[in-house]
A and B are shown apart, each in its own frame.
Chain A
């Protein structure tokens, strides 16, 4: 079976359409790809909203995309918008305009979702990806306005961070400086170092890195515009040094000729190369891999995975969990307690499947909430819950949409205080293709997850992991938590009884702790 899929990327500088064929036999195959330059970002970043003129142009281009989609008789599509639309005040109106005019429903995705999609595109290049991330690897996604660094350690994503270093930003800064080439080079180095050094101090510490995976639009120019057919995807640090030195020695005209680009792009080549060069230096990585992927490739990979037409060997959910554990660690959460609560929470979730009706995505959110439930205490013990809420809302959790992040933050916020149905606030709207079971009633879902987290937390009230081996059974209207633990479980018993009301209110079963007596 061959399925035809269209991916539309409403980016800050370009509208892009990719047509893909997905089949069990051949995997994902790109069939067509078109790009149209349209600087939505310029409007948004300057005026905070997208002008009517650009909306008009955008609709025109998207209409033509629809024509191309018809041509290939695509069966399904996804359309994602990124930062320009995300930050535009009038995004809702613009999206509605687009929907009415072209029939295309565009979803605004969060930065962390966007990056996550890129990883899926890389991961679709299975063999290399799995091999490379066995060793410490940094995925460096340099864009026009910012860059994202994500670290892989032993097969798992451990951290991701956005830095305000983009090639367009650098280029514009240099344009103001009007410096000589010599000075310009050192300026770029200083700017890049400044940001990267802070980053290293905060996040890299003693981690060891062997590889850098380079993605993002600017590197693609470097990557593709070399002689066709003989492209080399992987370079040693030394090879990249040579390459960097070459670019550094070239004038703008020579760059234009060598890379066959216009002046605008030519000026971005050096900043691009610089950022990667510094990244290699700072991490000490020995190898750089340019897989040559773009967002639409990732969207196709994500779609194929969702439709079960493609299975990644890499476990992306695990990435998200490892990443959230690392956040917990950063805020000095007691990891043994976190682990105990996580075990119980998942046990509860799985046992009560028939009662809550939620699925794997919600389970993942629960797991993240468990991991982050105590991070607020790092700031202050008194308002720990509000602090935790704020920390979560301002921390990038890779792979989560904005809605999902809000869900996690709310679950954490209410896990230790009275749940106020009317006050739970989720500002973002879940999308058409949300993976949640019931995206219509988020408050209820938050309540369910809160109830589970609350109970799981009280099951380790003493932080001593007494109920590690407990068994769960539902009998009539009771959730029986039975344990072989021989010591004192009074604290847990009281705590469980305390949370019982809310739990019963939500699931209709009352938790009861039974301590088996040793014979």
Chain B
């Protein structure tokens, strides 16, 4: 014991003294290098891994991510309707980005919060850069829409009528009738004059603003402001009667309303009318990543404000300047926050267009998740887990086993208890139903429901109440922490005593998103995992930490130091001249401590290959800093979501999966679990997943030293498209398994066992 303790404490000491160690090491190296006469002092100065200039601002990196999605919308090799979908995603992404991130930065500015971010930028500097880049982004969005997608759609027989002015007489009559029958009854026109104040305009709603003039007052110059909200209860896309050659034609709802504005304000002449849309800093949900002192400050600020301030105003490009002036004044929005749009506002309607019937050839054929070979037999799921750990790779493989796991447990007479963490579940979740049934069947059911899941609170509260009514023990989250880990524990009484079955995952227990998000899961009944799982739920119920963990690492208490330790272990190996390699896949990478350690590892010679879908504050491939680090980013039909970590560890490699990204919020403010994959065969499969993703040269973008992303140069290479390859592999695996049991193949009848 003492040996271990001593060893460990030396390590820790090393950690705490790392800065010092870095410095002494630097001077040591400096001497060597200066002797070699290769490097001048300037370059050495760059060796300060924590220097802000070695980092990328996370918001700008996020915008880069949206750019990559936009790239997919611009990629002509992709099916047209898929491109519509990608464009729609960029728009909804941007909306969320504004509501959460930009709003938060605005708050910081108002609170006079000056603390620079990871890249050394103060909030106002960040806002300025974001504004600049967002304008550029929006321009590209709309040029993609009007110059690329609209013509292509027309070619495929779908015509989007740009403006109501373009309608011919017949169509005009059609839309007017449509207006009076369907739209008019739900509209609430509002005029503004001295007796009626400027109305409250709802966040994210689409509106039409008009300048109006009282009839009979034509000579006077008094113009009044009037507006009407485009009702969100009606579909935005209105189909027109088919054209001569059977062409599908559609027009947007706001155009129809604009055309009929005069009927809404009968006593007025409409001078001009234009759609506009605002985004408010209104929902007051603060991102948990900001410092707590900031939170208090912001709350004070919020009280002073009556409405959430407007942080973005979108208007038509050719908007009447007088109208814009009124909007600008009434909404008190700055010049930099105004976006003049050349096209329809709010492109999320494209998702609806994707859903239009009749263009199936322009959409990717839907993929059916494949059965898991280990479970393709008549044994129950528990018997199958007892045969060995099972790895699940969604959505290539079906999510059914996870649902089935809970469902079987709810009915199995030997099951004593089911415990699960639920973060975001689908509307009619079969898992929630199974849990309720289990409680009904007299099982002890404990569920930790995370209510703080963004945008999902209400949904969560409803079914949590339902579970409680069914007799489940429901824990409504933890104070100050979000429970983000995904773990299910089934306690079963078997002949030789209690046995525990555990499912650990990288994605939420949500059967709908499991069809779209790529995630991994592990099912096991290894006692050490079971003990740890029990300890996790004991801790989530408020009990003290267990004396020791066997396999799992938990945030916020142990995970960060665990990662750092493993990265440093590779660094150590590289320094001693041994081979050292890290592969890691995650959604976001923006933790400064981790990045600094990766830089250090890179400089020591560790090969670091990262697959980061979204935000990445690390600079890759910078000489003298990160030349051994590469960052790949895959944007595909499925949303990359799994977190996988590989460490070479001098030949006895370790593979982990988990729920945490390398982000401060994951490591410090959330309950997360990282778990090892130890079965040699499964480990190989997980490493295979990483390798194929790193080989992807169709969907992958590579992060350049300057912070931009570029697609891989495909010339002379076999094309690798990771997501497609995984689909094919899953199909082949399932087929190979059923072929093995196929009478036509084996030409042998197999008697069923009793």
Question: Which residue numbers of A lie inside 8 Å of B, CB to CB?
Answer: 2, 4, 14, 21, 23, 25-26, 29, 31-37, 64, 67, 70-73, 220, 222-233, 235, 239-240, 242-243, 246, 250, 253-254, 257-258, 260, 290
Contacts and interface: CB of A to CB of B under 8 A. Distances in A.
B415 to A, nearest CB: 11
Interface in B525-554: 534, 538, 541-544, 546-550
A33 B541 CA distance: 13
B496 A257 contact: no
B444 A258 contact: no
> Which 9 A-B residue pairings sit nearest by Cβ, starting from the closest?
A243-B2, A224-B547, A71-B444, A232-B1, A35-B544, A258-B9, A34-B543, A239-B2, A257-B12
Nearest to B473: A67
B544 A72 contact: no
A232 B496 contact: no
Contacts of B8: 226-227, 258
Contacts of B538: 32-34
In the complex, which range does the number of interface residues on chain B fall in? 35 or more
Contacts of A31: 497-498
B38 interface: no
Given A226-B5, A227-B7, A254-B9, 4 more contacts: A2-B497, A232-B3, A233-B1, A254-B16
Given A23-B497, A34-B543, A246 B9 contact: yes
Contact of A226 (B4, B473, B491, B558): B4
Contact of B497 (A21, A222, A227, A242): A21
B549 A228 contact: yes
Interface of B is mostly: mixed
A224 B546 CA distance: 9
Interface of A is mostly: mixed
Contact of B543 (A21, A36, A258): A36
A232 B558 contact: no
A243 B543 contact: no
B496 A23 contact: yes
Contacts of A225: 547-548
Contacts of B1: 222-223, 226, 231-233, 235, 239, 243, 290
Interface in B1-24: 1-9, 12-13, 15-16
B720 to A, nearest CB: 38
**Most chain A beta-carbon contacts within 10 A, residue among B4, B473, B534:** B4
Contact of B6 (A23, A29, A222, A243): A243
A67 B549 CA distance: 24
Contact of B498 (A21, A34, A232, A253): A21
Interface of B: 1-9, 12-13, 15-16, 416-417, 444, 473, 491, 493, 496-498, 534, 538, 541-544, 546-550, 557-558
Contacts of B9: 246, 250, 254, 258
B479 to A, nearest CB: 16
Contact of B534 (A32, A67, A226, A290): A32
Nearest to B542: A36
Nearest to A14: B544
A183 B417 CA distance: 54
Given A228-B549, A260-B558, A71 B417 contact: yes
Contacts of B534: 32
B533 to A, nearest CB: 11
A222 B557 CA distance: 18
Contacts of A253: 16
A124 to B, nearest CB: 17
A33 B537 CA distance: 11
A67 B2 contact: no
B76 to A, nearest CB: 54
A144 B4 CA distance: 25
26 contacts: A23-B496, A23-B497, A26-B497, A31-B498, A36-B542, A36-B544, A37-B544, A64-B541, A67-B473, A71-B417, A71-B444, A72-B416, A220-B547, A222-B5, A224-B548, A228-B549, A230-B4, A231-B4, A235-B1, A235-B2, A239-B2, A242-B2, A242-B6, A254-B9, A254-B13, A258-B8
Contact of A2 (B15, B496, B543, B548): B496
B126 to A, nearest CB: 34
Contacts of A64: 541
A250 B32 CA distance: 34
Nearest to B530: A31
A20 to B, nearest CB: 10
A71 B491 contact: yes
B564 to A, nearest CB: 12
B2 to A, nearest CB: 3
Contacts of A220: 547
Contacts of B542: 36
A350 B78 CA distance: 96
B12 A232 contact: no
Contacts of A258: 5, 8-9, 12
Contact of B444 (A14, A21, A67, A230): A67
A72 B2 contact: no
Contact of A70 (B7, B444, B496): B444
A228 B548 contact: yes
B18 to A, nearest CB: 12
Nearest to A25: B496
B543 A35 contact: yes
B4 A72 contact: no
A243 B8 CA distance: 11
